[in-house]
């Protein structure tokens, strides 16, 4: 009898844990829907028009599917002092996949007009991720994108606002698949490897493009 009660307690406890665990959500993005109203992001038909909209809704562990297109709308930020990014977030693990591939799914930053290297208030880097704890973003996967034409808020050294016009990542376990385009010269799109925890470490790039 005691064994039976103990087994029942274990089974009920496991069921309670399963029922109370938060299920991961799936979100959809399609640049053809940019500017449309009534989008929920929960189906391909009602996909958000910007990747940042999906990121803002997503919780840690969620998956975002992005249709092929040129994503040059919307802005986010990992940390406000870093300046604007086309997509950015902090302290959550996300799985972001293009439903096409890197050749037809582009995340496009912006260069500040009227400057030689594009830095300034109008600059937008392509992607920024900040991990406050060192573990919250671990395991994030970003697959099937080209990042291009980004720049940074400032050209000054020793500040996160000048690092990675293409990608600025404050964590060592963010995984990228496929290629990343237009990473060239500091402040204009490189992936930093010198200062800051985890910048550029364990990032998987089959090819880094050196051309402008």
- Res. 13 pLDDT band, cuts 50 70 90: very low
Average pLDDT, the chain: 74
Q: Give the pLDDT of residue 5.
A: 43
Q: What is the pLDDT of residues 39-48, one digit of tens each?
A: 999 999 999 9
Q: Give the pLDDT of residue 171.
A: 60
Query: What are the residues whose beta carbons fall under 8 Å from the beta carbon of 107, sequence distance 6 or more?
Result: 51, 71, 86, 87, 126, 127, 145, 146, 147, 148
Answer yes or no: is pLDDT of 82 > 70.
yes
Q: Hey, how many other C-beta atoms are within 10 angstroms of the C-beta on 186?
A: 16
Q: What is the pLDDT of residues 120-163, one digit of tens each?
A: 888 888 888 888 887 888 888 888 888 888 888 877 766 777 77
Residue predicted with more confidence, 169 or 52: 52
33-47, 82-96, 121-135, 197-211, range with the lowest pLDDT:
197-211
Structure tokens at 202: 């364990």
Global confidence as pTM: 0.76
Going by the DSSP 8-state scheme, the letter that residue 151 receives in this structure is -
- Res. 22 pLDDT band, cuts 50 70 90: low
DSSP string, 9-48: HHHHHHHHHHHHSPPPPEEEE-GGGTT-SS--SSSSTT-B
User: Residue 97 pairs with which residues in a beta bridge?
Assistant: 65, 143
């Amino acid at each position: 009898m005691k064994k039976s009660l103990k087994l029942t307690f274990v089974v009920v406890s496991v069921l309670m844990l399963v029922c109370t665990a938060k299920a991961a959500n799936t979100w959809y993005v399609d640049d053809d829907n940019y500017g449309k109203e009534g989008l929920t992001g929960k189906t391909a038909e009602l996909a958000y028009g910007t990747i940042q909209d999906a990121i803002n809704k997503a919780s840690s562990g969620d998956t975002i599917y992005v249709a092929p297109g040129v994503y040059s709308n919307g802005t986010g930020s990992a940390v406000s002092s870093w300046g604007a990014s086309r997509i950015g977030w902090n302290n959550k693990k996300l799985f972001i996949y293009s439903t096409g591939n890197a050749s037809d799914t582009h995340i496009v930053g912006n260069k500040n007009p009227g400057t030689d290297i594009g830095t300034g208030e109008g600059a937008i880097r392509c992607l920024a991720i900040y991990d406050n704890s060192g573990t919250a973003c671990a395991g994030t996967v970003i697959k099937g994108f080209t990042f291009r034409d980004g720049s940074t808020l400032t050209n000054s050294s020793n500040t996160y606002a000048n690092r990675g016009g293409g990608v600025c990542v404050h964590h060592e376990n963010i995984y990228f698949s496929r290629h990343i385009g237009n990473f060239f010269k500091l402040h204009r799109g490189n992936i930093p490897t010198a200062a800051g925890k985890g910048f550029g470490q364990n990032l998987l790039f089959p090819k880094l493009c050196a051309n402008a």
